[in-house]
Structure 1
Amino acid sequence: MIDYGLINTIKTKLANDEILGRNGIEASVHSYCPSTKNYPLILLELEEIWSSLKLGAQSGFTKIKIKASTLSQALSSRESITISDRIRQLLDGQIIPTEDGKTGIVKLTHSTVDIPSTMKPMSVHQYFEILIRDL
């Protein structure tokens, strides 16, 4: 399926990044919530899939929304924000190939920073849209 193929492509791209690797995060990129959590943690989730009805020869497209959550147990939110900024640099504006030969354009739509008052993990949630056109 194209949606989980894109998530795996993004997961591989994040896991192979040198800067995230230097911080020991390459093994902490997941597309599911692991049973044992090692922080910092990057969690990729499929939020929404939207597909148009193909009315013309080249009018069809698919929009996939993905959420990238960065969780950290550091006392300040600096670690989560630094990691999420690197994710934005790696993904925003990128063209990602799909398994069926099409390409998807990644765009950051918005981010949410959650700083809880208790000793819960700090988190930054980034929402990306991937637009895949049928050419």
Structure 2
Amino acid sequence: YVRNSNHIKGHILICVIALGILKLLQWKLKEAGTPLSISEIVRALNSATTVPIKSANELMFLQCSRPQNIRKGLERLTQEELKAELSGRRLQPSQLEILFKTVGLVPPARLVNIKEMGRCLGVRLTAEDSIPELLKDML
């Protein structure tokens, strides 16, 4: 729906700002000793999916992730070699955890309440009135 010149200028501005944020994040990751490519950053951010759940009059957030093909690039390994490789990967932080820590945030646990989610994101979320109306309608 980018049809008039103001919409086109706005779209270009958003694209430039997004690229600037990506490059800044890439620079911070490199400075922290964990360089990631832009496609790796985007893939990690796309995997950060949170589902709001209303349980016993309390708003909770469940962390979900997209399934990954864990065998990709490891097709030639035997079962034992694959088990050893995957065990080693579990000990390493995920790219999303690295991104959170690089920008000074705490990765949330699998299931958190609203106050804990606010603490992880570095914002004050103390009550449901701080949740956008769109999200409230989904519950």
Q: Same fold (TM over 0.5)?
A: no
* Structure ID, larger Rg: 2
Higher strand share: 1
Higher helix share: 2
With structure 1 as the length reference, what TM-score do the two structures score?
0.32
Q: Which has the higher contact order (CA 8 A, sep 6+)?
A: 1
With structure 2 as the length reference, what TM-score do the two structures score?
0.31
